[in-house]
Amino acid sequence: MSTLKVIGAGYGRTGTKSLKTALEKLGYGKCYHMEELLSTPEHVKYWKAAMEGKPVNWEELFGQYGYQSAVDFPTSLYYKELAAYYPEAKVILSIRDAEKWYKSVYQTIYTFEPETKVKLKMLLKMPFSATARNFFQVIMMNKKSIWKKHFEGKFEDKEYVIQRFHQHIEEVKQAIPADRLLIFEAKEGWEPLCDFLGKEIPNEPYPYSNKKEDFKTYARNIIKDVI
Q: What is the chain's pLDDT, residue by residue, as a tens digit (227 residues)?
A: 469 999 999 999 999 999 999 999 999 989 999 999 999 999 999 999 999 999 999 999 999 889 999 999 999 999 999 999 999 999 999 999 999 999 999 999 998 776 667 667 767 777 877 888 898 899 899 999 999 999 999 999 999 999 999 999 999 999 999 999 999 999 999 999 999 999 999 999 999 876 655 666 766 676 666 66
Q: What's the pLDDT at 227?
A: 63
Q: Is residue 196 part of a domain?
A: yes
Q: Is residue 171 part of a domain?
A: yes
Q: Is residue 123 part of a domain?
A: yes
Q: What's the pLDDT at 1?
A: 43
Q: What's the pLDDT at 29?
A: 86
Cα 176 to Cα 112: distance, rounded to the nearest angstrom:
32
Q: Report whether 25 contacts 36 (CB < 8 A).
A: no
Q: Is residue 188 part of a domain?
A: yes
Q: Residue 52: how many CB atoms within 10 A of its CB?
A: 11
Q: What's the pLDDT at 115?
A: 64
Q: Is residue 64 part of a domain?
A: yes
Collapsing DSSP to helix, strand or coil, 184 comes out as strand
Q: What's the pLDDT at 219?
A: 66
Q: What's the pLDDT at 85?
A: 97
Cα 120 to Cα 175: distance, rounded to the nearest angstrom:
43
Q: Is residue 1 part of a domain?
A: no
- Can you give the residue range of the structural domain that contains 35? 6-226
Q: Is residue 209 part of a domain?
A: yes
Q: Is residue 152 part of a domain?
A: yes
Rounded alpha-carbon distances, angstroms, from residue 124 to 40, 112, 117, 119, 139: 20, 21, 10, 9, 16
Q: What's the pLDDT at 111?
A: 84
What CATH number does the domain containing 111 carry? Answer: 3.40.50.300
Number of domains, the chain: 1
